Amino acid sequence: MFNQSAPRFAYLETIMRIFTLFLLFAAISAQAALPDSVADALQKAGVPQDHVSVIVQRVDMTAPLISNQADQPLNPASTMKLLTTYAGLSLLGPAYRWHTDVYMDGTLSNGVLQGNLILKGYGDPAFMAEDLWRLLNNLRQMGIKDIRGDLLLDASYFSPNIANSADFDGEAYRAYNALPNGLLLNLKASSFKFQTISLGSNPQVLITMEPNLPEVKVVNRVQLKPGDCGEWKNKVSYQIEKTTVTFSGSYASSCGEKYMELSLLDDAHYTFGLFRAIWQQLGGKIQGDVKQITVPVTANKIAQADSPALADVIRRINKYSNNLMARQLFLTLGAEQQGAPAEAAKSDKTIRDWLATKSLVFNELVLENGAGLSRNERITARHMAALLLDAYASPVMPELMSSLPILSVDGTVAKRLKDSPAVGRAHLKTGSLNGVGAISGYVLDSKGRYWVLVFMANDMQAAASKAAQDALIDWVYQQQ
């Protein structure tokens, strides 16, 4: 029998298909559009939307709610540390520890070592002055008092640096530019404290150095001035000649106590200077000098210093965006997976192989040092979001998330969105370079649902994109 309703059903089916396509188009359009508050903030900042990549996706959804320029490879600045630290947790494990070994090459009698003391490093990014003090105190308790030879340093776990600390921005002595080393001590940093003091009726600026190394001379020509503190470092200049650092310029009386981190000495002389200062404080003597070698077969291991667990170390890396520590971890990954000496190419391959095991293929990915202190590193917002979604579902999610700065509470986002209802409800890694402004991580909305948020701006005005980043965080928090 002829079905007279068939044309009607065909008509309805056509209408439904059109309606479905309309909904799909609407969904795609919704993904492409930035919230009005974010778009307005970008416009005020003078940052074009096509210079900004954004992904916002709830962790239990299969598609993003917002997607803007998501497949454009951009410089992520320090948000690249998310990739390095997640890879570290996954490949090395949260309980992984670096170690630094002590060897004796000679004979010990009545407290006198007739021979050399040797330190061998394995890339520990968290071997600080207090850790060296404990290690040397242990040696004193073992009976060593007088070293009649040299201090020998073995940094061969990492390949020798072929880069220059001035390569990135010309600031060779700034601590953030310090280069990785297989035997890294105290981040090779000297911290200069600026403070105002009053000597009678003559207030002035006092500059002190920590750790206090006798071989470094500080010349203070800084003038105390009235006014707001502001960008105080822009008003203070320094000049370094051999082991003398001369500070000039002005320092506002309202600044109170401030710090400038510099890296003045090469690795060997910095380590020797700090070793000798602590060793003498502990009542020890050393007659020789410092030399860089590999541990001879005749040496005997007598002590070992272990780092904190990796889960603790990555908190220092991400909370305060420590470039050198991230670079040490990046190189360690290659050495642990492919053998020493550590090289950037080994670490690059290690991370790509690890991503492939998760079916994460980031063809646009460019890794130089894993810290984001680079003009060359690249990743898309879509792939950064994919990484964060994968991390959220991984066994190391609690360790990674807890390493990230908490909005309005600590780290690099401690001062942001203080009056927002989102206070304390986001774990976010920031990134900033000249021409780059980025933020990525997790936001807990008002209904208790987690979202992945990725924002990367590559533009001459990118530094002004913070207001747009904050608007996006607030918008995600308010989702219904």
For residue 202, tell me if it sits in a domain: yes
Same domain? 439 vs 293: no
Same domain? 386 vs 452: yes
For residues 50 and 401, is the Cβ–Cβ distance under 8 A?
no
Same domain? 137 vs 281: yes
Helix, strand, coil percentages in the chain from 3-state DSSP, rounded to 5: 35, 25, 35
Domain end, chosen from 280, 307, 334, is at 307
Same domain? 320 vs 451: yes
Same domain? 156 vs 200: no
pLDDT at residue 1, as a whole number: 45
Residue 28 has pLDDT above 70, yes or no: no
Same domain? 382 vs 402: yes
For residues 159 and 343, is the Cβ–Cβ distance under 8 A?
yes
Mean pLDDT of 335-341: 97
The DSSP code sequence of 161-224 is P-S-TTTTTS-TTBGGGPPP-TT--GGG-EEEEEEEEEETTEEEEEEEEES--TT-EEEEEEEE
For residue 81, tell me if it sits in a domain: yes
Residue 358 has pLDDT above 60, yes or no: yes
Domain of 209, in residue numbers: 190-262
Same domain? 414 vs 293: no
Mean pLDDT of 361-389: 98
pLDDT at residue 32, as a whole number: 53
pLDDT above 70 covers a percentage of the chain that reads 93
Q: How far apart are CA 477 and CA 233, in angstroms?
A: 35
pLDDT at residue 17, as a whole number: 55
Alpha carbon distances (Å) from 426 to 274, 413, 416 = 40, 10, 11
Same domain? 295 vs 427: no
Q: How many domains are contained in the chain?
A: 3
Sequence-ordered list of residues with C-beta below 8 angstroms from that of 155, at least 6 positions apart, any chain:
121, 181, 182, 183, 267, 292
Same domain? 233 vs 357: no
For residue 26, tell me if it sits in a domain: no
For residue 423, tell me if it sits in a domain: yes
For residues 276 and 153, is the Cβ–Cβ distance under 8 A?
no
For residue 398, tell me if it sits in a domain: yes
For residue 10, tell me if it sits in a domain: no
Domain end, chosen from 276, 291, 307, is at 307
pLDDT in tens, 150-173: 999 999 999 998 788 989 999 999
Could you tell me the CATH number of the domain that includes residue 342?
Answer: 3.40.710.10
Sequence-ordered list of residues with C-beta below 8 angstroms from that of 315, at least 6 positions apart, any chain:
402, 403
pLDDT in tens, 212-230: 998 899 999 999 999 999 9
Give the pLDDT band (50/70/90) at residue 27.
very low
Mean pLDDT of 305-334: 98
CB atoms within 10 A of CB 294: 11
Q: How far apart are CA 412 and CA 448, in angstroms?
A: 24
Same domain? 293 vs 389: no
Mean pLDDT of 130-157: 98
Could you tell me the CATH number of the domain that includes residue 289?
Answer: 3.50.80.20
Residue 15 has pLDDT above 90, yes or no: no
Same domain? 430 vs 383: yes
Cα 157 off chain centre by? 21
Same domain? 302 vs 404: no
pTM of the model: 0.92
pLDDT at residue 19, as a whole number: 47
pLDDT at residue 199, as a whole number: 73
Residue 11 has pLDDT above 70, yes or no: no
* Amino acid occupying residue 215: E
For residue 14, tell me if it sits in a domain: no
For residue 458, tell me if it sits in a domain: yes
